[in-house]
Amino acid sequence: MPVPQKLTPTQLFNRCDPAQFGFETTAELDGTTEIAGQERALEAIRFSMGIRHDGFNLFALGPAGTGKQSAVLHLLNRLAPCAASPDDWCYVYNFEKPRHPRALRLPPGRAGQLGSDMERLVETLFSVIPAAFSSEEYQTREKEINESFQEQQGVAIEALERKAQSQDIALIRTPGGFAFAPTKKGEVLKSEDFMRLKQEDRDRIEAEMGQLKDALQSIMAQIPKWHRETNEKLKELNRDVAGFALKPLIGEIRSKYETLPEVVSYIDAIENDIIENFDQFLEKEPSPQELFMGGGQPRTGSKGRYFVRYRVNVMIDNTNTNGAPVILEDKPACQNLIGDIEHSSQMGTLVTDFTLIKPGALHRANGGYLVLDARRLLLEPFAWEALKKAIRTRQIRIESLAQLYSLVSTISLDPEPIPLQVKIILLGERTLYYLLNNYDPDFNELFKVGADFEDEMERNPENYLAYARLIGSMAVREKLRHFDRGAVARVIEHGSRMAGDATKLTTHLQGICDLVHEADYHASEGSRALVTAGDVQAVIDARVHRASRVQERIREAMMRNTILIDTCSEKIGQINGLSIYSLGDRNFGQPSRITARIRLGKGEVIDIEREVEMGGPIHSKGVLILSGFLGARYAPEQPLSLSATLVFEQSYGGVEGDSASSAELYALLSAISGLPIRQWFAVTGSVNQYGEVQAIGGVNEKIEGFFDLCSERGLDGRQGVLIPASNVSNLMLRQDIVKAVEEGKFSIWPVSHVDQGIEILTGVPSGEQDEAGVWSPGSVNARIVERLDAMTKKQKEFDSDLENDDEEKKS
Amino acid sequence: MEPGMRQGMIRTIAVALDCSPHSKASLVAAAEMAVRLGAELIGIFVEDINLLRMAGLPFAEEIRQYSMTTGKLDEAQLERLLRFQARDAQEQLQRTAEEFTLRHTFRVLRGMVPEELMSAAPDADILVLGRSGRSPSCRKGLGSTASTALREGKMTVLLMRPGCTAAEGPLLVLYDGSEGSMRALGTALAIAGPESLLHLVVIDREPDAEERSRQETLTLVEPSGLQVEYHHLPVADGRQLARYIRMIDSGLLVLSDRMNLPEETLRALVNDIDSPVLIVR
């Protein structure tokens, strides 16, 4: 198999040419940004926002920092002003059921107006009602009613008194009631005088007094009725007077809201209540008790707790809302979402009323859009369930959590639920989306649209411009230095490196923004007016340096040969593999020595890592593939009579992944064939059962890791790395490597088959198979076959010796 | 008029107390007057002998006001109740006197109420009592005690009703040039508060009566510094008078029983009028 060509410097790094930009600096751009590379997600968002059916809420999924929030808000801010402003909502006192405050819907801006109308009404009534009740007309009528009662009572009793007097009997008031007594000349008879009377006189008097007593009792039986009647008359008079005083004021308010039947019925209820409770407006000053209870504020606020009932608790005032509201709730706690009923403390007791109902984000977003962070939402106790309930029932019912879970036991309210029409947009990672999808049966019903944000986008001129615009708009918004086009190009190149693909750009815009901030800082340190490519490069280098402590310590250990990595000799069964270390958000590559030893055996390849449970399943899979490849290729029709052991030398932390499987295969082939491997090469790539080399991740970091070691030991032109050919498009290497390759000091080989790799590594052709299946003589593969045949023979001999020994023993 | 002169005229004010609303109004009015005049307050509580006698009768029964049931009246219990009432009255007097810082005495008497009242404070310059007391019928007109005081009393009597002030508000004096009406004016000027408005109603058929009366009363009115309004009323019929007085809405009505008015007219007037009345003798 022909050996591939070394990669040229241009294949190692996809340069972005600053000359292609139509601007010199980002200051020339208009400062606006467009969302680039997220067409799929944007389409999903548009679809979700456009469809008015239930459940078409949106989950924007993608890694943090990919601009989900910006994209969603950008689109919403464009859509929202075109929609109609939603109605206002307020809570008012429910005169029939005070525990269930009424929710009133009013056109935008009218709720606040109703509130001030009611406040003015109460204010006015404090002067109007006392005036009406102190009028001469009222006083006269009241006196008339009271006196007619007195007179009615008086006349009846006086008549009886007169009748009694005519019979020489007096009606006397006792401390507890009335009594009759016989008199003589106006004076009550003494008991001895009475006893001196004749028996018949005494009987007569007693009989008369008995009759009078009955008469008095029947009069007295009437008195409560007269009293009730008088009270009724007085009440009616009061109602008339209060109603008359109130009518023009209420009429004025009612005419303002006559198109709103619910408001009109509320105003009617208020009118009745004021008429029934007019006396509340007559008290001049709050009583000392009221003052003590904190209710004695000046009337401009409210007089005592009583007048709270005429207030209007404006939950949502859309006076200044332009179109549909877009609400971003940063702390989606349950009470921040659905609202809360607060309590105030009075004499150590918690009390509440409808004015203490506080709106939540759902109220504010009603008729518009609510954007929430899924992780934060799920972290808040009860919030997710509360949100789902609100969406499912299409209404906001405010429930006090403390009340629900019996944490407090005090008077609370059950406000009338408010109808909800809102689009919920959740922003979150993909894991969350799929977890919710799998485990929450409601989720699919309620969040039918997923906007999947890309991690990367195509590298093309439009997206270059999007990057430039992003930088330009940041510079304007955050008062940073503008970038010259060289700097923009360098940022774009870094975007590719972040994406790990020369043909893509990362959409992790947060990382780009951080880079822009850091580069601006660097430019300011150098007192430059513009940020240059040098600044950007310096910042990238500084980032690497900041995170490179562990990397350098490992390399230092290699330089001291504490960790044995050979980069100059040739060894049988030994190779430099490349592995990736992940520390926080930084990755770096380092070479690892992999060795293979063989002996006579039964065809098994022993992975020492797996034997000691330090290898992960993918790694084990990679090793097992090797035995598949060996057996099928070299011993399809005879037993594979070898036993091989493979190990990552000096690895103490476990190995995972199959990116070293090609390296392990090369080590094994070298061990079988007896051909030494050139240690100045490092290898990465996985392999399949047919010997094809497959792509791996982190190719840039791996190459850089080996290059750094070689460069420190001194580049001699031989050193290089074998990478899978399919990874060439991922190359975005550091400039020093590109330069070393340019100067012929370092090489990178794209390998697509192990035959190519083993040829580069051993310097011996891998060989071709003829029609009979025989490998070209002297080739690596021929040597392997020969060695395996030899081993099989030895095995056979060994086996027959054993059989003979056994037979001899038997005979 | 000098304060000394005022004090010389009215030194003691007797007030009839029976714990009814009328009597409370009387007590306040008496205290207000007493404090202005530096007079002494005498509280009088009369234990009604009729009541006690009645309780002594073998068949005495009380019809209770709020339950309409009947029950035997017990003399001892009644005595106890009267004592409680007397104590209440005394406490009321004490509280009021302390509030206004007044000298005061309290007397408890037993007998027929009107007679006892008349005789209890023979040296008192004014007797203050309610228009009606605890009489069975909540009558509109005068009570029995007030009627007796009006008919038989020798001293100046002030008849009060609840809800009115006496001397603090405006005063209305009936004047017909008689000596009695002069005395009435004098007393009115003596008891009037410093801000009071004094209506002087001249009852005379003569057309120039008002001017004449002005001249006659000048020496009395001028030194008081009070604002005086003169009204001329050429009628002397009780009902008409009452209507006219009600129209003025004048507060305390001051008159004398020694005017040139027939006694019936006077009585009818006092009976009809709602406001407190001071009958000067």
Least confident of A401-405, A415-419, A665-669, B224-228: A401-405
Taking an 8 Å cut-off on Cβ atoms, the answer to whether A179 and B48 are in contact is no
Q: Dihedrals φ, ψ of A391, to 5°?
A: -70, -40
Torsion of the alpha carbons at A540, A541, A547 and A549, rounded to the nearest 10: 180
Question: Is residue B72 situated within a structural domain?
Answer: no
- pLDDT score, position B141: 64
Taking an 8 Å cut-off on Cβ atoms, the answer to whether B65 and A171 are in contact is no
Q: Give the distance from residue A275's alpha carbon to the nearest chain B alpha carbon, in angstroms.
A: 26
Number of domains in chain B: 2
Given B160, B195, B229, the domain boundary residue is: B160
Q: Identity (one letter) of the amino acid at A324?
A: A
Enclosing domain of residue B9 = 3-59+81-160
CB contacts of A188 in chain B (<8 Å) are 49-51, 53-54, 57
Same domain, yes or no, for B265 and B151? no
CB contacts of A196 in chain B (<8 Å) are none
Taking an 8 Å cut-off on Cβ atoms, the answer to whether B61 and A153 are in contact is no
- pLDDT score, position B200: 86
Query: Nearest by CB to A175, which of B59, B81, B136?
Result: B81
**A202 vs A179: CA distance, rounded Å:** 17
- pLDDT score, position B252: 85
The predicted model gives B158-184 an average pLDDT of 80
- pLDDT score, position A297: 45
**A627 vs A633: CA distance, rounded Å:** 10
Confidence of residue B3 (pLDDT cuts 50, 70, 90): very low
Query: Nearest by CB to A187, which of B62, B112, B139?
Result: B112
Question: Is residue B263 situated within a structural domain?
Answer: yes
Question: Is residue B261 situated within a structural domain?
Answer: yes
Q: Identity (one letter) of the amino acid at B263?
A: E
The predicted model gives A581-610 an average pLDDT of 89
Q: Which of A378, A389, A339, A392 is nearest to A361 (CA)?
A: A339
CB contacts of B138 in chain A (<8 Å) are 150, 153-154, 157
- pLDDT score, position B265: 82
Using one digit for the tens of pLDDT, what is the confidence trace for A136-186? 888 888 888 888 888 888 888 888 888 888 888 888 878 778 888 888 887
Using one digit for the tens of pLDDT, what is the confidence trace for A718-762? 999 999 999 999 999 999 999 999 999 999 999 999 999 999 999
More confident residue, A400 or B175: B175
- pLDDT score, position B250: 66
Query: Nearest by CB to B57, which of A154, A171, A181?
Result: A181
Distant-in-sequence, close-in-space partners of A469: CB < 8 Å, separation ≥ 6: A26, A29, A32, A33, A34
Scanning B84-143 for CB atoms below 8 A from A yields: 85, 112, 134-140
Q: Where are the beta strands (DSSP E) in A601-666?
A: 605-607, 642-648
- pLDDT score, position B133: 61
Q: Which residue of B80, B82, B113, B138 is the best one to mutate when testing the A interface, meaning the one whose CB has the most A CBs within 10 A? A: B138
Same domain, yes or no, for B233 and B124? no
Least confident of A34-43, A516-525, A585-594: A34-43
* Nearest-Cα residue of chain A relative to residue B77: A175
**CB burial of residue A354 (10 Å; 0-12, 13-18, 19+):** buried
Using one digit for the tens of pLDDT, what is the confidence trace for A187-213? 888 888 888 888 888 888 888 888 888
Distant-in-sequence, close-in-space partners of A402: CB < 8 Å, separation ≥ 6: A408
Residue A644 pLDDT exceeds 50: yes
Same domain, yes or no, for B20 and B55? yes
Sheet holding A574-583: strands in order across? A605-607, A642-648, A586-600, A574-583, A681-683, A720-724, A747-751
* Nearest-Cα residue of chain B relative to residue A189: B53
CB contacts of B54 in chain A (<8 Å) are 170, 172, 179, 181, 188
CB contacts of B81 in chain A (<8 Å) are 175-176
Taking an 8 Å cut-off on Cβ atoms, the answer to whether A175 and B82 are in contact is yes
| b/e A506-537 (16+ beta carbons within 10 angstroms → b) | bbbbebbbebbebbbebbeeeeeebbbbbbbb
CB contacts of A151 in chain B (<8 Å) are 140
Using one digit for the tens of pLDDT, what is the confidence trace for B214-245? 888 888 888 877 888 888 887 767 777 877 88
Same domain, yes or no, for B110 and B39? yes
- pLDDT score, position A742: 95
Domain spanning A38-86+323-453: CATH 3.40.50.300: yes
Distant-in-sequence, close-in-space partners of B133: CB < 8 Å, separation ≥ 6: B16, B18, B20, B22, B23, B113, B143, B145
CB contacts of A220 in chain B (<8 Å) are 63, 65, 68
Q: Give the distance from residue A155's alpha carbon to the nearest chain B alpha carbon, in angstroms.
A: 8
- pLDDT score, position B38: 85
| b/e B251-264 (16+ beta carbons within 10 angstroms → b) | bbbbbbbbbebeee
Residues A439, A484 contacting (CB under 8 angstroms): no
Confidence of residue A295 (pLDDT cuts 50, 70, 90): very low
Taking an 8 Å cut-off on Cβ atoms, the answer to whether B53 and A216 are in contact is no
**CB burial of residue A290 (10 Å; 0-12, 13-18, 19+):** middle
Same domain, yes or no, for B101 and B224? no
Query: Nearest by CB to A181, which of B54, B138, B140?
Result: B54
Q: Which residue of A136, A155, A174, A211 is the best one to mutate when testing the B interface, meaning the one whose CB has the most B CBs within 10 A? A: A174
Q: Which of A312, A314, A307, A305 is nearest to A349 (CA)?
A: A305
Q: Which residue of B22, B23, B52, B54 is the best one to mutate when testing the A interface, meaning the one whose CB has the most A CBs within 10 A? A: B54
* Nearest-Cα residue of chain B relative to residue A187: B50
Across A572-586, B57-71, B172-186, the highest mean pLDDT is recorded for A572-586
Residues B88, B66 contacting (CB under 8 angstroms): no
Q: Give the distance from residue A140's alpha carbon to the nearest chain B alpha carbon, in angstroms.
A: 12
Query: Nearest by CB to A188, which of B53, B85, B135?
Result: B53
Question: Is residue B68 situated within a structural domain?
Answer: no
Same domain, yes or no, for B50 and B112? yes
CATH code of residue B154? 3.40.50.620
**A113 vs A451: CA distance, rounded Å:** 41
CB contacts of A221 in chain B (<8 Å) are 68
Same domain, yes or no, for B103 and B215? no
The predicted model gives A532-561 an average pLDDT of 93
- pLDDT score, position A670: 96
A vs B, Cβ pairs < 8 A, gives 99
CB contacts of A171 in chain B (<8 Å) are 136
The predicted model gives B113-135 an average pLDDT of 78
B144 in A contact zone (CB under 8 Å): no
Using one digit for the tens of pLDDT, what is the confidence trace for A246-272? 999 999 999 999 999 999 999 999 999
- pLDDT score, position A291: 46
Least confident of A174-188, A270-284, B7-21: B7-21
Same domain, yes or no, for B29 and B154? yes
Q: Which residue of A142, A157, A191, A209 is the best one to mutate when testing the B interface, meaning the one whose CB has the most B CBs within 10 A? A: A191
Q: Which of A751, A783, A752 is nearest to A767 (CA)?
A: A783
Given B100, B130, B160, the domain boundary residue is: B160
Confidence of residue B6 (pLDDT cuts 50, 70, 90): very low
More confident residue, B123 or A381: A381
Q: Dihedrals φ, ψ of A480, to 5°?
A: -100, 170
Question: Is residue B64 situated within a structural domain?
Answer: no
Element of type H or E holding A600: strand A586-600
Residue B10 pLDDT exceeds 70: yes
Query: Nearest by CB to B138, which of A154, A171, A189?
Result: A154
Scanning A157-196 for CB atoms below 8 A from B yields: 157-158, 161, 170-183, 186-191, 194-195
Using one digit for the tens of pLDDT, what is the confidence trace for A86-107? 999 999 999 999 999 999 999 9
- pLDDT score, position A296: 42
Same domain, yes or no, for B49 and B185? no
CB contacts of A153 in chain B (<8 Å) are 137-138
Confidence of residue B1 (pLDDT cuts 50, 70, 90): very low
Q: Give the distance from residue B238's alpha carbon to the nearest chain A alpha carbon, in angstroms.
A: 21
Residues A392, A332 contacting (CB under 8 angstroms): no
- pLDDT score, position A184: 83
B73 in A contact zone (CB under 8 Å): yes
The predicted model gives A109-131 an average pLDDT of 91
Same domain, yes or no, for B275 and B240? yes
- pLDDT score, position B168: 67
> What residue ranges of chain A are covered by domains with CATH 3.40.50.300?
38-86+323-453
pTM of the model: 0.70
CB contacts of B68 in chain A (<8 Å) are 217, 220-221
Q: Give the distance from residue A157's alpha carbon to the nearest chain B alpha carbon, in angstroms.
A: 5
Question: Is residue B165 situated within a structural domain?
Answer: no
Using one digit for the tens of pLDDT, what is the confidence trace for B261-273? 888 888 888 887 7
Confidence of residue A299 (pLDDT cuts 50, 70, 90): very low
Question: Which residue bears the tokens 């759902």?
Answer: A362
Given B125, B160, B195, the domain boundary residue is: B160
A151 in B contact zone (CB under 8 Å): yes
Interface confidence (ipTM) of the complex: 0.78
Query: Nearest by CB to B68, which of A150, A151, A221?
Result: A221
Question: Which residue bears the tokens 């002996």?
Answer: A599
- pLDDT score, position B175: 87
For a pLDDT cut of 90, what percent of chain A falls above it? Answer: 58
Question: Is residue B123 situated within a structural domain?
Answer: yes
CATH topology of domain A562-793: Ribosomal Protein S5; domain 2 (3.30.230)
Same domain, yes or no, for B151 and B199? no
Question: Is residue B75 situated within a structural domain?
Answer: no
The helix-helix angle for A68-79 and A39-50 (nearest 10°) equals 40
Residue B117 pLDDT exceeds 60: yes
Element of type H or E holding A677: strand A676-678
Residue B5 pLDDT exceeds 60: no
Taking an 8 Å cut-off on Cβ atoms, the answer to whether A191 and B56 are in contact is yes
Taking an 8 Å cut-off on Cβ atoms, the answer to whether B62 and A177 are in contact is yes
Same domain, yes or no, for B175 and B85? no
Q: Give the distance from residue A240's alpha carbon to the nearest chain B alpha carbon, in angstroms.
A: 25
Taking an 8 Å cut-off on Cβ atoms, the answer to whether B137 and A157 are in contact is yes
* Nearest-Cα residue of chain B relative to residue A169: B54
> What residue ranges of chain A are covered by domains with CATH 3.30.230.10?
562-793
CATH of A14-32+456-546, one of 1.10.760.10, 1.10.8.60, 1.20.120.1200, 3.40.1280.10: 1.10.8.60
Taking an 8 Å cut-off on Cβ atoms, the answer to whether B62 and A179 are in contact is yes
CB contacts of A183 in chain B (<8 Å) are 50
More confident residue, A486 or A584: A486
